Amino acid sequence: MSVEPSPTGGPNDGGARHVLDDASIEWLRAGGPAGDVVFSSRVRLARNLSGLPFVGRATPEQKQRTLDLVREAIRGTDLPDRWVWLNIHETPASDRGLLVERHLISKQLQKGRGAAIGEDPRAVAFCTPGERVSIMVNEEDHLRLQVIRSGLDLSDAWAQADRIDDSLEAALDFAYAPRLGYLTACPTNIGTGARMSVMLHLPALRMTGDIDKVKRAAGDMGLAVRGFYGEGSEAAGDLYQLSNQTTLGKSEAMILSDLESVIIPRVIEYERIARKTLLTKRTNFLLDQIYRSLGAARHARLMTAEEAMQHLSNIRMGCILGVIKDVEPALLNLLLLLVQPTHLQRVFGKDLDQDARREARALLLRTRLGGV
């Protein structure tokens, strides 16, 4: 397996945009089981190294030591993937924004701890093509391993995460206590250190006013409901992340079984029923929502990111229900990414202020969706 220090050869040039292939992103594939409702499935493992303080207590020298150890461990594994390594503390702000929008790093890793450029050592390693696996280093924990799959496929995501975890643990000494399990910076992650989540597209439940019932039911079952960018973010484009909240006292198999076999199928069924109800009993309301969004996307001259995501959400539901026949769901998934601020600037090849982004975003949608 190869580990590339950066996309263009040097360890500090920060050229993330040169290895990011929009056409191959796993979570935008519009495939996989239950792909009409489930965008993606994700398994994340939190791990820390014995003998080094948690990230919040570590010195820059200790953080750099963590980077060196993890990078060497990845280099020494026999995993077949091609990996790219980026030192986030030496990566330009625009490229960090791209990585956040692609869900390869968190906003916490993007910002660091307020240090100047070149300080607060932190990194990400991710595999290409597809960006199915990423490892954040020195975020809240020393390692945050993430594996993602299109559609409802937590089992496959977990199987790969487990293989990578075993390979890394053969080279690294993870902090572990026999009674508690893996030790993590946040107490809610102690135990397996595993968070399993799905990204759900729930426009019909929002339209019928039942989305709050789903949120309350999830809370009663000990699940967390978050927005498009996870913890601390709002739902945009009717996209919600649903995940387990605690990891202590439950095995990975128990968490996986609860989510993939019981809870998520129930939410999927609720959304499908809501879509059918709208289509058969509130037809004009539904068609009005879909066609208003299609008209705006094909003809508007100004568009905020929030407006674009909401219109794309409605159009996507129209495609899946067979109302709109000349647009592919995979294109809509991709546009949900391209309308984000940093990706939009990448598409147009220049920095854009807020007003210019609104114009560019509308132009992008008109161009890609056959508008005028």
What was the pLDDT predicted at 281? Answer: 96
What was the pLDDT predicted at 248? Answer: 64
The secondary structure of 152-220 as a DSSP string is S-HHHHHHHHHHHHHHHHTTS-B-EETTTEE--SSGGGTBT-EEEEEEEE-HHHHHTT-HHHHHHHHHH
| Mean pLDDT confidence for 344-354 | 95
β-pairing, 38-47 vs 194-201, is: antiparallel
202-221: b or e for each residue (b if 16 or more CB lie within 10 Å)? bbbbbbbebbeebbeebeee
Higher pLDDT, 227 or 362: 362
| Mean pLDDT confidence for 146-167 | 95
| Mean pLDDT confidence for 44-72 | 96
CATH class for the domain made up of 3-195: alpha beta
Burial of 92 (C-beta count, 10 Å sphere; 0-12/13-18/19+): middle
What was the pLDDT predicted at 82? Answer: 85
Q: Is the pLDDT of residue 99 over 50?
A: yes
Q: For 14-43, how does the pLDDT look when each residue is reduced to its tens digit (9 = 90+)? A: 456 667 888 789 888 878 899 999 999 999
| Mean pLDDT confidence for 209-227 | 84
What was the pLDDT predicted at 118? Answer: 60
Higher pLDDT, 251 or 345: 345
Q: Is the pLDDT of residue 60 over 90?
A: yes
- Residue range(s) of every CATH 3.30.590.10 domain in the chain: 3-195
What was the pLDDT predicted at 8? Answer: 29
**Identity (one letter) of the amino acid at 101?**
E
Percent residues over pLDDT 70 in the chain: 90
What was the pLDDT predicted at 7? Answer: 36
Residue 136 has what DSSP assignment? E
State the CB neighbour count (10 A cutoff) for residue 47: 23
What was the pLDDT predicted at 231? Answer: 58
**Could you tell me the pLDDT band of residue 233, with boundaries at 50, 70 and 90?**
low
Higher pLDDT, 215 or 366: 366
What was the pLDDT predicted at 229? Answer: 62
| Mean pLDDT confidence for 351-357 | 96
Residue 48 has what DSSP assignment? -
Interacting residues of 279 by C-beta distance below 8 A, sequence separation 6+: 286, 321
Across the chain, mean pLDDT equals 88
Residue 159 and residue 252 in contact, taking contact as beta carbons nearer than 8 Å: no
**Could you tell me the pLDDT band of residue 372, with boundaries at 50, 70 and 90?**
confident
Q: For 160-202, how does the pLDDT look when each residue is reduced to its tens digit (9 = 90+)? A: 999 999 999 999 999 999 999 999 998 888 889 999 999 999 9
What was the pLDDT predicted at 234? Answer: 63
| Mean pLDDT confidence for 90-119 | 86
Q: Is the pLDDT of residue 154 over 50?
A: yes
The pTM of this model reads: 0.88
**Could you tell me the pLDDT band of residue 77, with boundaries at 50, 70 and 90?**
confident
Between CA 126 and CA 9 the distance in angstroms is 16
